[in-house]
């Protein structure tokens, strides 16, 4: 399947480009919104929570911005992945192609937004604080790969389930809202040391591990902890394997469900 997906790379890259063009048609700012949205939220939340957590705004703002960009990538991939196969109805009926390319199309579109955000974050951090260890930034390469594979797996699973049960997208949106507060996107993980059950919940949360994989090299010039790496890789393997098995089971029947 991987070889066939790669052979069709021009097709799914064109689909991702088409999605971006459609999304920002007649927009003056265009893809710049992918940076303005998390930057605006960072400014608003920093004004509120920097005092709450008693952290200098110059330190809290980069922490928050990186978290918002990563969360936006995951949530956008999952929510839009719910409709990945329904939007590909025409293609699936005309020609049998590997259905895994359609969630990949969604992840690529969201990934372009994320890369713009992470690129801006690296630039801002370099200006404000500098990097203690440039070598640690190489850890971002496997971190982004793990994040992308996980997003693809979750998009595939949600897309297949949503094809059968259209309530899936609403359930995914509600679940992501709840998970947002169980993940240290806007609050510091250290602030939970006094909260036993909540600290344990965050410690077991793979999405928190993904944030550490990105934040620690960018903000502290350090490699992620072994726990975060193992948890992230394990969840990625589960999501990707489940998605692959689901695709194998429904690939020939999916077009009939649309």
Q: Mean pLDDT across the stretch 194-210?
A: 81
Stronger pLDDT, 207 or 50, i.e. the higher one: 207
Q: Is the pLDDT of residue 258 over 70?
A: no
Q: Is the pLDDT of residue 195 over 70?
A: no
Q: Is the pLDDT of residue 193 over 70?
A: no
Which pLDDT score is estimated for 23? 76
Which pLDDT score is estimated for 2? 67
Token match 């600290």: residue? 199
Q: Mean pLDDT across the stretch 213-218?
A: 92
Q: Mean pLDDT across the stretch 78-90?
A: 89
In percent, the amount of the chain with pLDDT more than 70 equals 95
Scored b (16 or more CB within 10 A) or e, 57-75 reads eeebbbbbbbbbbbbbbbb
Question: What separation in angstroms does the CA of 123 have from each of 43, 71, 117?
Answer: 17, 19, 10
Distance CA 11, CA 67 (A): 31
Mean model confidence pLDDT for the chain: 86
- From 146, 124, 104, select the one nearest 230 (Cα to Cα): 146
The pLDDT tens digits for 40-74 are: 898 998 988 888 778 888 888 999 999 999 999 99
The pLDDT tens digits for 106-157 are: 999 999 989 999 998 888 888 877 777 777 889 999 999 999 999 999 999 9
In the chain, domain spans: 28-257
Distance CA 72, CA 8 (A): 27
Distance CA 172, CA 79 (A): 7
In percent, the amount of the chain with pLDDT more than 90 equals 43
Q: Is the pLDDT of residue 88 over 90?
A: no
CA 67 to chain centre: 10
Q: pTM, whole model, 2 decimals? A: 0.89
Q: Is the pLDDT of residue 9 over 80?
A: no
């Amino acid at each position: 399947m991987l070889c066939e997906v790669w052979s069709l790379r021009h097709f799914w890259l064109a689909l991702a480009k088409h999605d971006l063009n459609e999304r920002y048609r007649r927009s003056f700012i265009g893809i710049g919104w992918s940076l303005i949205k998390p930057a605006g939220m960072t400014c608003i939340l920093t004004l509120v929570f920097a005092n709450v957590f008693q952290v200098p705004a110059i330190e809290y703002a980069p922490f928050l911005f990186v978290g918002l960009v990563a969360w936006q990538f995951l949530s956008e991939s999952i929510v839009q992945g719910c409709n990945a196969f329904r939007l590909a109805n025409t293609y699936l009926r005309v020609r049998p192609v590997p259905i895994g390319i359609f969630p990949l199309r969604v992840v690529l579109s969201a990934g372009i937004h994320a890369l713009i955000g992470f690129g801006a974050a690296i630039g801002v951090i370099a200006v404000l604080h500098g990097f203690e260890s440039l070598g640690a930034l190489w850890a971002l390469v496997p971190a982004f790969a793990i994040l992308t594979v996980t997003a693809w797996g979750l998009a595939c699973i949600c897309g297949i389930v949503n094809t059968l049960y259209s309530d899936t997208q609403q359930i995914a949106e509600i679940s992501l809202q709840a998970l947002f507060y169980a993940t240290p996107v806007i609050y510091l993980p250290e602030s939970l040391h006094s909260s036993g059950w909540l600290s344990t919940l965050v410690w077991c949360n793979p999405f928190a591990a993904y944030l550490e994989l990105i934040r620690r090299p960018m903000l502290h010039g350090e490699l992620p902890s072994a726990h975060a790496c193992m948890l992230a890789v394990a969840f990625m393997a589960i999501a990707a394997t489940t998605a692959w098995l689901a695709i194998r089971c429904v690939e020939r029947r999916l077009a009939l469900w649309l």
